[in-house]
Amino acid sequence: MNVLDRLVVVVLAGGSGTRLWPRSRQALPKQFLDLTGQGTMLQETLRRLAPLAPPDRILVITNADYVDLVRDQVPELPPDHVVGEPLPRGTAAAVGLGAVLARHLRPDAIMASVHADHLILRPDRLRAALVASAEVADRGHLVTLGIKPTYPHTGLGYVEQGEALPSTSDGHQVFRVVKFTEKPNLSTAERFVADGRHSWNSGLFTWRVDRILAEFAAHMPELYAGLQVIAASLGTPEADATLQRVFPTLPHQTIDYGIMERAQDVAVLPVDIGWTDIGSWATLLEVLDGDSHGNVIRGDGTALTIDTHNSLIYTVAGRLVAAIGVKDLVIVDCDDALLICPKDRAQDVRRVVEELQRSGREAYLR
């Protein structure tokens, strides 16, 4: 049987997206926003997955508050394939829930875990890589897609590759993972970029469901026990009540620390898929096409630029934004908040969010 026939795709669509404040808020985080002009990030994710798996083999794991929003944005999915976490418990619990749901769909499933808030500029290469990773996963490996680093990013995890494993039928190279390193300091990141043995950890994973559940049993037995209770209820009238009762009791942990850094037989498949984790407004300035002066203008408002260069203007407030004689700026105009900062300070948006929380002005975060 073709591995593609067994592929079940689990899309992680939780998270609050505070790094793209003021547009991304608790009620409408970045995965549900149209940031590129091609549809929301969730819709783009489902569109690029459509050639790989039909709607009845795609699952979306999200926050319970977003279930109706997901169903509205991707009505092609069966309603019960959109599952809301009663309480966020980290990516380990979300992935584990996706695994038991995928196993319920078909016991021999190969599961691909992807994120709804990643930008992929080469979707055809992503699809080819996921098919190749499914082939590797069928051999018994846990597979992560590795992204060739283009600069010493200190906000991402890195994967060190070791010995070469047999390549896939379409020629993709595969390597045994030696080590995961989470968010290294600058000097370490520079060394990783220079040595040619490290990839960025994309957070895109593929595995057989029996393999990943075995790793949960070995390394996170408390979480595994809870997942088994949820799994036993699937297909019964008690399924939703069991999820509501059990899921909030699961340990809070990431899949990287809880499983991937401890598991056996982990492989990395290096890929060039035009991947980026949109971690700040400046990322959009880097990856989206701009005008002749390097300005990227998005949103549903209007912008006028005069002698303005290499700046992002994103407006949804319906006002005209006029920029004169500026460069390297991020300008985000919303109904109740305006963000202006140098593009190289865009990561500091989190400090604005923290200050709003500290000063009791959470209304600007909702």
Q: Are residues 161 and 189 in the same domain?
A: yes
Residues in the chain: 366
Q: How far apart (Å, rounded) are the C-alpha atoms in residues 5 and 312? A: 42
Query: Pick from 277, 311, 338: which residue ends a domain?
Result: 277
Q: Please tell me what DSSP assigns to residue 65.
A: G
Domain of residue 353: give its range. Answer: 281-364
At 238-293, the pLDDT tens digits run: 999 999 999 999 999 999 999 999 998 999 999 999 998 888 899 889 888 899 99
Over residues 323-347, the pLDDT tens digits come to 999 999 999 999 999 999 999 999 8
Say which CATH number the domain at 80 has. 3.90.550.10
Which of 225, 256, 277 corresponds to the end of one domain? 277
Handedness of CA 107, 112, 113, 117 (dihedral sign): negative
Please identify which residue in the block is written with the tokens 């783009």. 44
**Is 232 found in the same domain as 349?**
no
Instruction: Between 277 and 199, name the one with better pLDDT.
Output: 199
Q: How many CB atoms lie within 10 A of CB 82?
A: 22
Tell me the per-residue pLDDT of 61-104, one tens digit each, with 9 for 90 and over.
999 999 999 999 999 999 999 999 999 999 999 999 999 999 99
Domain count, the chain: 2
Does residue 15 sit in the same domain as residue 76? yes
Does 196 share its domain with 306? no
Judge whether residue 1 has pLDDT over 70: no
Residue pair 276/283 in contact by the 8 Å Cβ criterion: yes
Residue 279's pLDDT is what?
A: 81
Note whether 345 and 215 are same-domain residues. Answer: no
b/e per residue, 309-329, with b = 16+ CB within 10 A? bebbbbbbbeeebebeebebb
Q: Does 271 lie in the same domain as 285?
A: no
> Both 209 and 65 in a single domain?
yes
Q: Is the pLDDT of residue 197 over 80?
A: yes
Neighbours of 261 (CB within 10 A): 17
Mean pLDDT within 129-138: 96
Distances (CA, A) of 24 to 32, 35, 259, 269, 308: 9, 10, 30, 32, 25
What is the Cα–Cα distance from 181 to 69, expressed in whole angstroms?
35
